Chain A
Amino acid sequence: MRVPIESRVLLAVASALVPRDERADWRREWDAEIWWWLGSHTGERLRLAVHCAGALKDAAYLRANHGDAIATLRRAAGSPGACLAGLALLLAAVVAASGLTETRRVLRGDPFAGAHLAVLSQTLPFMGAHLGVPPAKVADWDLRAQSLEGAATYSRTRRSGVAQASPKFFTLLGTHAAIGTLSVSDMPAAVLSYECWQRKFHADPAVVGRTVDSAPVIGVLPRDFWFLDLRPEVWILGPPASDAPSPALARLKPGVKPADAQTELRVLAAQVKPVSRGSAVVVEPVERLSARPLSALGLPWLVLVCCATAAAVVRFRRAPGFAVFLAAKVVLSLTLVLLATVEFGSSWMTINSGETNLAAGVVSLWLFLAGPGAALYWCWRDQRRRCRTCLHRLEMPVYFGEGARMLLEHAGTELVCPQGHGSLFTADGADPATQWYPLFAGK
């Protein structure tokens, strides 16, 4: 009995779809079925083809439910390449989501270079914490200080995305509006950031005159404007809302050194109430503050990367591949933390704004310590659970022993390399011993 061509093709296609280890049995069963079919039906080519099309469905079912698809995926996920690719993917996601705007700003440097701008604050001598200056003193300096062309307060407000500044603030910076003007005639007045204007007002040039945060909009900042780590959507220009201390911006007269201005301001500050004992006025050039993310984040990053890489090389000098893999993970994960901190953390940080916001300070401390700490901990933990030969993640944890009987017996976890290179024993409880046993020692 001959099987027609179309049915044979269907069977061949279906057979190719069946997982290899089940294929021979599958084919045998279907051949027997077709033999029976041909014996009980005659001349029904189309019905035989429909019958054989059922083999396709059967084969698809076997393929979809075959264990090896998932096993292959799991094996691939545990490979060192997948680990590095995952980190690289995360990095790419951060780059894509942020466009590296902040990083490029930091690398490009101070947008007000050579403008003799400085941030005025008060420092507690023993802590080095920057506190704001009472607005009354700033107003006094603006009027009387011989070393300054002018001074203006600025601060974040309770509402996120809104900052407050003296009317002179943008004049001192020397910024020109992209739309409208930045010189204030009636207070308060609102100035929008370029991004806010584009996103919330769809770049509508008729935005000037509309009311935002109960103040009329007078202008839009240029696209490339940035000032330290303040990134508000709206600046409200007007008199300070309260007597609460805030940092101040000053433009020094040409030729005046920050140290000279500092001496004069300290003398003037003592003449205006409230006189704060123990804290001293500090004049810091904006140039230096703008570059601070580079020194505050970039340098620790470099030091951490170098130390961790050196430690990896020294610790695993007998297994160069193992050391290189650890170093690659360290570099990628620390870079990820650095970029994420710079790109997404700028609004929570107090690296260079010249003010101390307690909540923001806590967040930046977390970002500084927890981010790199977590990254390094993860690198090390992941490394310990990898095969010393093929770098594949160890699998099949087996727990044995009883924690309560540690004095009498071992208790711990054993992991094995899926490719059989060896096993890792980690003791539970107080004894942190970890030992690697190669299975084919000497080969």
Chain B
Amino acid sequence: MAELSYISATVLHSIASGRGYGFQVMEAAGLPSGTVYPALRKMEKAGLIRSQWEHAAVARAEQRPARRYYRITSDGEAALASAGQKYRFPELAPKKS
């Protein structure tokens, strides 16, 4: 398995801590969109995370657009565990919603 970069590991750490979609990851990790999204794409391709669109009905009931949720896979957890021995992750900003 390829080693994670610090940025990718931080993004993965945010997802593992319950930040489910891109905007939440950006806010929690304090990273810009141009960094977070390519990292998400790369990790999804590598099978470390999986994405799923929220049901349209849920979004409609809350009167907002549907979100694309990212979830960590078992491969991702293994990668995060080994990255955790190498890096110290930053404090994540508290969740807003």
Chain A 36-65 residues near chain B, CB threshold 8 A:
36-37, 40, 50-58, 61-62, 65
B94 beta carbon closer than 8 Å to chain A: no
Which residue on chain A has the smallest CB distance to residue B40?
A58
* Minimum C-beta distance from A211 to chain B (A): 63
* Minimum C-beta distance from A18 to chain B (A): 11
Contact A57 B38, beta carbon cutoff 8 Å:
yes
- A32-B67 Cα distance, complex, nearest whole Å: 6
Chain A 1-50 residues near chain B, CB threshold 8 A:
25, 28-29, 31-33, 35-37, 40, 50
**B34 partner, pick from A28, A31, A57, beta carbons under 8 A:** A57
Please indicate the chain B residues that have their CB under 8 angstroms from the CB of A58 in the complex: 33-34, 37-38, 41
Contact A51 B33, beta carbon cutoff 8 Å:
yes
- A36-B23 Cα distance, complex, nearest whole Å: 7
**A50 partner, pick from B21, B32, B64, beta carbons under 8 A:** B32
Known contacts A33-B22, A65-B45; is-contact A54 B66 (Cβ 8 Å): no
Q: What is the 8 Å Cβ interface bit string for chain B, positions 27-46, against chain A (1 contact, 0 not)?
A: 00000111111100110010
Q: What is the 8 Å Cβ interface bit string for chain B, positions 64-97, against chain A (1 contact, 0 not)?
A: 1111100000000000000000000000000010
Please indicate the chain B residues that have their CB under 8 angstroms from the CB of A29 in the complex: 22, 68
Residues of A within 8 A of B (CB): 25, 28-29, 31-33, 35-37, 40, 50-58, 61-62, 65
Please indicate the chain A residues that have their CB under 8 angstroms from the CB of B42 in the complex: 61, 65
Please indicate the chain A residues that have their CB under 8 angstroms from the CB of B66 in the complex: 28, 32
Contact B96 A40, beta carbon cutoff 8 Å:
yes
Q: Is chain B's binding surface mostly helix, strand, loop or mixed?
A: helix
Which residue on chain B has the smallest CB distance to residue A59?
B37
Contact A56 B34, beta carbon cutoff 8 Å:
yes
Please indicate the chain A residues that have their CB under 8 angstroms from the CB of B64 in the complex: 32, 35
Contact B37 A57, beta carbon cutoff 8 Å:
yes
Chain B 40-54 residues near chain A, CB threshold 8 A:
41-42, 45, 53
- A128-B3 Cα distance, complex, nearest whole Å: 70
Please indicate the chain A residues that have their CB under 8 angstroms from the CB of B65 in the complex: 28, 31-32, 35
- A361-B21 Cα distance, complex, nearest whole Å: 74
Chain B 1-41 residues near chain A, CB threshold 8 A:
21-23, 32-38, 41
13 further A-B contacts with Cβ under 8 Å, apart from A53-B34, A54-B35, are: A28-B53, A28-B66, A28-B68, A29-B68, A33-B23, A35-B64, A52-B33, A55-B34, A57-B33, A57-B34, A57-B35, A58-B41, A65-B41
Contact B34 A54, beta carbon cutoff 8 Å:
yes
- A54-B26 Cα distance, complex, nearest whole Å: 11
- Interface pairs (6), CB distance under 8 Å: A28-B53, A28-B65, A29-B22, A32-B65, A61-B37, A61-B41
Which residue on chain A has the smallest CB distance to residue B54?
A32
- A29-B33 Cα distance, complex, nearest whole Å: 12
* Minimum C-beta distance from A1 to chain B (A): 11
Please indicate the chain A residues that have their CB under 8 angstroms from the CB of B32 in the complex: 50-51, 54
Please indicate the chain B residues that have their CB under 8 angstroms from the CB of A25 in the complex: 53, 68
Please indicate the chain A residues that have their CB under 8 angstroms from the CB of B67 in the complex: 32
* Minimum C-beta distance from B61 to chain A (A): 15
Which residue on chain A has the smallest CB distance to residue B37?
A58
**A33 partner, pick from B33, B34, B38, B53, beta carbons under 8 A:** B33
From B34, B42, B53, name the one whose CB has the most chain A CB atoms within 10 angstroms. Answer: B34
* Minimum C-beta distance from A235 to chain B (A): 63
Please indicate the chain A residues that have their CB under 8 angstroms from the CB of B34 in the complex: 53-58
Please indicate the chain A residues that have their CB under 8 angstroms from the CB of B35 in the complex: 54, 57
- A79-B96 Cα distance, complex, nearest whole Å: 56
Contact B22 A55, beta carbon cutoff 8 Å:
no
Please indicate the chain B residues that have their CB under 8 angstroms from the CB of A61 in the complex: 37-38, 41-42
The 8 A-B pairs with the shortest beta carbon distances in the complex, nearest first, are: A54-B33, A54-B34, A57-B34, A58-B37, A61-B38, A32-B65, A36-B23, A29-B68
Please indicate the chain B residues that have their CB under 8 angstroms from the CB of A51 in the complex: 32-33
Which residue on chain B has the smallest CB distance to residue A55?
B33
From B23, B42, B45, B53, name the one whose CB has the most chain A CB atoms within 10 angstroms. Answer: B23
- A51-B68 Cα distance, complex, nearest whole Å: 18
* Minimum C-beta distance from B9 to chain A (A): 18
Please indicate the chain B residues that have their CB under 8 angstroms from the CB of A35 in the complex: 64-65
Please indicate the chain B residues that have their CB under 8 angstroms from the CB of A31 in the complex: 65
- A52-B34 Cα distance, complex, nearest whole Å: 8
Please indicate the chain B residues that have their CB under 8 angstroms from the CB of A40 in the complex: 96
Please indicate the chain B residues that have their CB under 8 angstroms from the CB of A55 in the complex: 33-34, 37
Please indicate the chain A residues that have their CB under 8 angstroms from the CB of B45 in the complex: 65
